[in-house]
Amino acid sequence: MKEIRILCVYDGYITEEVMSKMKELEEFGARITMVSDDEMKDVGDVTNRMLLLEQKGLEAAPTYKTLLENCPDKEILVVHCTSINKEVLEACPKLKAAVVLRGGIENVDINELTKRKIPLINTSWRSADAVSDAAVGMMIAENKNIARSHHYMKEGRWVKSYVNQKYIHNMNKCTVGLIGYGAIGSRVAKKLKGFDSDILVYDPFVSREMIEKDGVKVVDLDQLLEASDFVSMHLRLSDQTKKIMGKREFAKMKKTAYFINTARAGLVDTSALVEVLKDREIGGAAIDVFDQEPLPTDHPYLELENITLTSHLAGTASDTPVVSVEIGVEKLKDFLTGMTEENDR
């Protein structure tokens, strides 16, 4: 069996201990080398890097020099948020695959990988359960005023009437519109079925057949906005989806409907959302992702009564790093088995 050299780069989120599961691949002919990305020593460093990549692109992120020093003889690179950019790819003449242990792939130069015919493996559903749990939780929190009531009680106030008092509904009386039906959106739908909610879906990137097999209804965007009591974002951010929710789209929503975003801030025109919330043109919102993080202390969101805010926590779970590596290991086992079979022909 030919030895396959794999370089794994761990960081402050996917730690050395968690990444060590990659050593299971040694049974498949892999030789594992592990290095630490010392530029991302803790979770804060990692989330800052994610935001930098999302907002300013791969070019804004530094090349990790230790990766460059260790990659020339490697055939597979496994990273979390460390960049695999053109400089890295030029230093890896033997590269046969790149692995990113996260859902997003902003830290990889896709064009260069494509030119070099190098496959990219990622763990697209690693935080799908965590984020889908949070999305449903934020729907309930905003509708039932859970965060507001907690806040008031900490202030010594016993508040029984809220701005949404006339349209607090049970979930089994609500229609939920999901914009996006990938790993996260589909899980949200599954969980909402337990509440007997009606579910509408808009996703131009997934076939109608794939969505309808789950027993949910496919509609166009305007139909979803007009009919839903909750509108929840689950698309990946791209040139096609940037600011897909703007002034026109918010105007289509019911005055009693809630807007939920646990996906990406760039999917939304923030100023348009602030305007409709301030003017009470929609019922409320629950937001986990922001154009600037941490949220500035003078942000207009903080002046609104009809919004629930969390500090980019939706994907947070102690299970997520472990799940990321577990998925990566299973995908690489398949990849290495395929390489072995090809070499045996």
DSSP symbols for 50-88: HHHHHHH-GGGSPP-HHHHHH-TT-SEEEESSS-B-HHH
Long-range pairs for 204-210: beta carbons < 8 A, 24 or more residues apart: 204/240, 205/235, 206/181, 206/182, 210/181
Q: Is the pLDDT of residue 1 over 70?
A: no
Let me know if 293 is a catalytic residue.
yes
- The predicted pLDDT at position 82 comes to 97
Q: Are residues 74 and 207 in the same domain?
A: no
pLDDT grade, residue 25 (50/70/90)?
very high
- The predicted pLDDT at position 341 comes to 53
Q: Are residues 113 and 182 in the same domain?
A: no
Q: Are residues 139 and 270 in the same domain?
A: yes
Q: Are residues 147 and 214 in the same domain?
A: yes
Q: Are residues 170 and 292 in the same domain?
A: yes
Q: From the candidates 39, 226, 293, 326, which is the catalytic residue?
A: 293
Q: Are residues 305 and 219 in the same domain?
A: yes
Q: Are residues 194 and 305 in the same domain?
A: yes
Q: Could you give the CA distance from residue 175 to residue 25 in angstroms, rounded to a whole number?
A: 46
CA 169 to chain centroid:
28
Q: Are residues 254 and 268 in the same domain?
A: yes
pTM summary value: 0.81
Cβ atoms of residues 102 and 122 within 8 Å: yes
Q: What CATH number does the domain containing 248 carry?
A: 3.40.50.720
Q: How many domains does the chain have?
A: 2
Q: Are residues 121 and 132 in the same domain?
A: no
- Residue 29: Cβ-neighbour burial (10 angstroms; 0-12, 13-18, 19+): middle
For the chain, percent helix, then strand, then coil, each to nearest 5? 45, 15, 40
Nearest alpha-carbon partner for 141 in 260, 299, 267: 260
Average pLDDT of the chain?
94
Q: Could you give the CA distance from residue 122 to residue 100 in angstroms, rounded to a whole number?
A: 5
- The predicted pLDDT at position 9 comes to 97
- The predicted pLDDT at position 44 comes to 87
Taking the alpha carbons of 203, 209, 211, 215 in that order, is the dihedral positive or negative? positive
pLDDT grade, residue 343 (50/70/90)?
low
- The predicted pLDDT at position 309 comes to 98
Q: Are residues 89 and 212 in the same domain?
A: no
Q: Is the pLDDT of residue 339 over 90?
A: no
In the block, residue with structure tokens 């991302």 = 40
Q: From the candidates 80, 126, 187, 264, which is the catalytic residue?
A: 264
Q: Is the pLDDT of residue 14 over 70?
A: yes
Cβ atoms of residues 48 and 34 within 8 Å: no
Q: Is 163 helix (H, G, I), strand (E, B) or coil?
A: coil
pLDDT grade, residue 117 (50/70/90)?
very high
Percent of all residues in the chain with a pLDDT value above 70, rounded to a whole number = 98
Q: Are residues 266 and 227 in the same domain?
A: yes
Q: Are residues 39 and 160 in the same domain?
A: no
- The predicted pLDDT at position 345 comes to 44
Q: From the candidates 102, 148, 234, 312, which is the catalytic residue?
A: 312
Residue 194 backbone dihedrals phi, psi, to 5 degrees: -65, -20
pLDDT grade, residue 340 (50/70/90)?
low
pLDDT in tens, 295-325: 999 999 999 999 999 999 998 888 889 999 9
In this structure, the number of other CB atoms found within 10 A of the CB of residue 111 comes to 9
Let me know if 312 is a catalytic residue.
yes
What distances in angstroms separate CA 45 from CA 13, 39, 48, 187, one per listed residue? 9, 7, 5, 29
Residue 190 domain boundaries:
128-309
